[in-house]
Amino acid sequence: MSALEIFAVNGIGEVRPGDDLASLILDSDADLADRDCLVITQKVVSKAENRIVEVDPDDPLSHKPLVERESVRVLRRRGDLIISETSHGFVCANAGIDLSNVERGQAALLPIDSDRSARGIRDRLKARAGVDVGVVVSDTFGRPWRRGVTDIAIGCAGIAAIVDLRGSTDTFGRELKVTEVAAVDEIAAAADLVMGKAQGIPAAIVRGLREEWFRPSCVVGEIVRPPAEDLFR
C-alpha cells in the first residue's frame, strides 16, 4: 500500500511578534525532509507578522469595526455574523478575524499577503536547514450548505495550489472533465486532522505527496475565483 504520513509538530511554543517561524520549527520536534509539505496555521503566522490588534476585552463585538475595515465587499449579514470578501479575495466569516488562541483583549487579522508569508517561511527553511519543502498557510473557514468548519489554504509556496489533471484520462480512457483539484486545500484539511483546534498544535508535516506537485505556486492567483466566474457573489 502506498502511503502518506501526517505528523503533528510539537514544541513550537507561544509565538510572538517578530519571531522567526522557520527557526521555531527547526527548534521543534519537526523532522523536515526534502519534498515534505509543512502546514502552518494562520494564527501563528499572523502573530509572527504582528497582525495583532487590541480590542476591548469586555466587549465580544469589539472586533466588528475591524471586520468592516478588512473587508472589500460584504456578501451577507445575519445578526452579528458578517460574510465578506477580504482584500486577498477570500470569502469568509468576519474577514478571517477571530479571537481564539490569542490573548484576551487581542484579535488576529489575516496576514497581509499570505502567499508571501508561505514563501518567506519556505525560503528561510531552505537557507537555514537546506531542506526543500512545500509550505501551506492554513485557516479555518465555514462553508455554505454544509455545517462544520474545515481547514483550507490561504497561502502556499513550493507546492501546487491546483493540480491540473487536464488531458489525463480516466480508467476507461475518456478524457477527464473535472480537471482541477485544489490540492493545497486538501493538504490543509488533512493536516487539521492531527492538529485539532483545542490542542494548540499550530503546524503539521505532510509526507509522501506526489513529486510533481512540488512547484512554484500561490493560493491567491490560482484558487481565488474571479467574481466574473463566480455564481455566488
Stretch of 46-54, 113-121, 124-132, 217-225 contacting its own copies, by CB under 8 A: 217-225
Q: Is position 218 an interface residue for its own copies (rule: CB under 8 A)? A: no
Q: Is position 54 an interface residue for its own copies (rule: CB under 8 A)? A: no
DSSP secondary structure code for residue 14 in this structure: -
Q: Is position 127 an interface residue for its own copies (rule: CB under 8 A)? A: no
Shorter beta-carbon distance to its own copies: residue 117 or 140: 140
User: What is the DSSP pairing of strand 52-54 with strand 71-78?
Assistant: unpaired
Q: Is position 19 an interface residue for its own copies (rule: CB under 8 A)? A: no
User: What is the DSSP pairing of strand 36-41 with strand 134-141?
Assistant: parallel
Shorter beta-carbon distance to its own copies: residue 91 or 120: 91
Shorter beta-carbon distance to its own copies: residue 98 or 123: 98
Q: How many angstroms separate the CA atoms of 16 and 47, rounded?
A: 6
Shorter beta-carbon distance to its own copies: residue 57 or 216: 57
Quick one: which of 58, 78, 212, 228 contacts its own copies (CB under 8 A)?
78
Q: Is position 143 an interface residue for its own copies (rule: CB under 8 A)? A: yes
Look-up: residue for cell 479555518?
140
Q: Is position 62 an interface residue for its own copies (rule: CB under 8 A)? A: no
Q: Is position 2 an interface residue for its own copies (rule: CB under 8 A)? A: yes
Q: How many angstroms separate the CA atoms of 12 and 57, rounded?
A: 26
Q: How far is the CB of 53 from its own copies (least distance, A)?
A: 16
Query: Cβ contacts of residue 163 below 8 Å, gap of 6+?
Result: 180, 181, 183, 213
Here's the x/- map for its own copies, 178-207, by CB under 8 A: it reads as x-xxxx-xxx-xx-xxx-xxx-x----xx-
Q: Is position 3 an interface residue for its own copies (rule: CB under 8 A)? A: yes
Quick one: which of 23, 50, 87, 100 contacts its own copies (CB under 8 A)?
100
Quick one: which of 104, 130, 212, 228 contacts its own copies (CB under 8 A)?
104
Query: Cβ contacts of residue 211 below 8 Å, gap of 6+?
Result: 35
